[in-house]
Amino acid sequence: MRIPPRSILADFLKLGRTSNEVGCGGRAASRARHGIRGVYSGHGLEAAVLNIRSVGCNQLHSMTTWAPFAIGHGYHSDVRAGENTGKERIAVIGSGNWGSVAAKLVATNALSHENIHDEVRMWVFEETLANGEKLTQVINKNKINVKYLPNVNLGVNVVADPNLENTVKDATMLVFCTPHQFVESICKQLQGKVNPNAKAISLIKGMEVKPDGPVMLSKLITKHLGIDCSVLMGANIANEVAMEQFSEATVGYKADTSIAKSWVQAFATPYFHVAAIKDVEGVELCGTLKNVVAIAAGFVDGLGMGNNTKAAIMRIGLKEMIGFSKLLFPTVSDATFFESCGVADLITTCFGGRNRKVAEAYARNGGKRSFDELEAELLGGQKLQGVLTAGEVFQVLKARNWEKKFPLFATVHKIAIGHLPPSTIVDYDNESAQKLHRNPSVGVIG
């Protein structure tokens, strides 16, 4: 029998300890630690990883805990692709920073829940890297998205696919995580090509503004694909979740609690806590509007105005988020804004994240460099959502004569397009703002 290298043995023993920490019984952890000889000699390292199932562990602590077993050995599914097993099959549509983290989360859980098929397919918009290699090939070889999430193992069971239709084939759970301006074209491409019994979830921040008013992306997905669509938003900057720092998220669902439970099961890990609430519009608008406030916070940082000013802008921004949401959808719950998707995400985004970062640079340069230019320079191919969203929100304000009711939102847009200097972030219509904030009844503004 060939004995594995000492480093691999150490990693396997670590896996056994981790299994005990996350709720596997003592017997399971013992078998994971002491059963290495039989597992290794009989089935190979991949089986050693998958064997955690057989010893009773319901949820692995982390994909990176056992990443050494994945690299260089390949992935062998326990079920042939396309076979009807009655298991859920997850496909992730999008492979940027957050999409890659989403794939890592669901791939971890796919290996630890018997009702989910092991393989997770991730649609990748194909790119040629500087060394001439295709991005999908590199991801499938190393299990790392070297462009958008470097140095993070996505999981042995993640398969990158440049073909959108092939990615969703046979999938019963679709995870949407693309820049919001591409959602409608993607959905049109997938019409009639997804499982009619599938369900979707959107991790995308933004909205579409149509001639008859704003349309939330979850509704757009349902309209084009004819399937239920929940949303997941929260205080979770992608790189921190990738490093398995503790964070939370909120699933907003329509009515079916079984669907909500399915999404919680797919995403929740010991370091990523997920709660579900029956308020799709409220959760989705929180994730959308907080990016506009983060742009304002970035202006404050770029102008060196300090924490008092930033706190004031955040508070005003939260009030406008609540008022705007409840005017559009009276069913939105006040309680939603106290979930992870609400005030927690607002705080996180206003102190970190790409929207605040680029807006700070914009203000520091006195508005003389465009957001497009700064996006290309600072984000490494990622897309900025807050400026687009500010423009979409402003279209709604303009069409409904709400500009004075939401002066901060209106001002952010006007600064972003160069009609006002960044310093006016604190010089917007204070009379209207005071009128808004004196009104104790959120949602009844004026």
Cβ-based neighbours of 72, under 8 Å, separated by 6 or more = none
Q: Catalytic: 398?
A: no
| Residue 24 burial (CB count, 10 A) | 23
CA distances from 258 to 138, 278, 443 (A): 37, 12, 31
β-pairing, 247-252 with 228-233?
antiparallel
| 3-state DSSP of the chain | CCCCCHHHHHHHHHHHHHHHHCCCCHHHHHHHHHCHHHHHHHHCHHHHHHCCHHHCCCCCCCCHHHHHHHCCCCCCCCCCCCCCCCCEEEEEECCCHHHHHHHHHHHHHHCCCCCEEEEEEEECCCCECCCCCEHHHHHHHHCCECCCECCCCCCCCEEEECCHHHHHCCCCEEEECCCHHHHHHHHHHHCCCCCCCCEEEECCCCEEEECCEEEEHHHHHHHHHCCEEEEEECCCCHHHHHCCCCEEEEEECCCCHHHHHHHHHHHCECCEEEEEECCHHHHHHHHHHHHHHHHHHHHHHHCCCCHHHHHHHHHHHHHHHHHHHHHHCCCCCHHHHHCHHHHHHHHHHHHCCHHHHHHHHHHHCCCCCCHHHHHHHHCCCCCCCHHHHHHHHHHHHHHHCCCCCCHHHHHHHHHHCCCCCHHHHHCCCHHHHHHHHHCCCCCCCC
CB atoms within 10 A of CB 117: 25
Q: Catalytic pick from 104, 143, 205, 290? A: 290
Classify strands 173-176 and 228-233 as parallel, antiparallel or unpaired.
unpaired
Structure tokens at 276: 């579900």
Quick one: which of 206, 203, 202 has its CA closest to 221? 202
Catalytic residues: 290
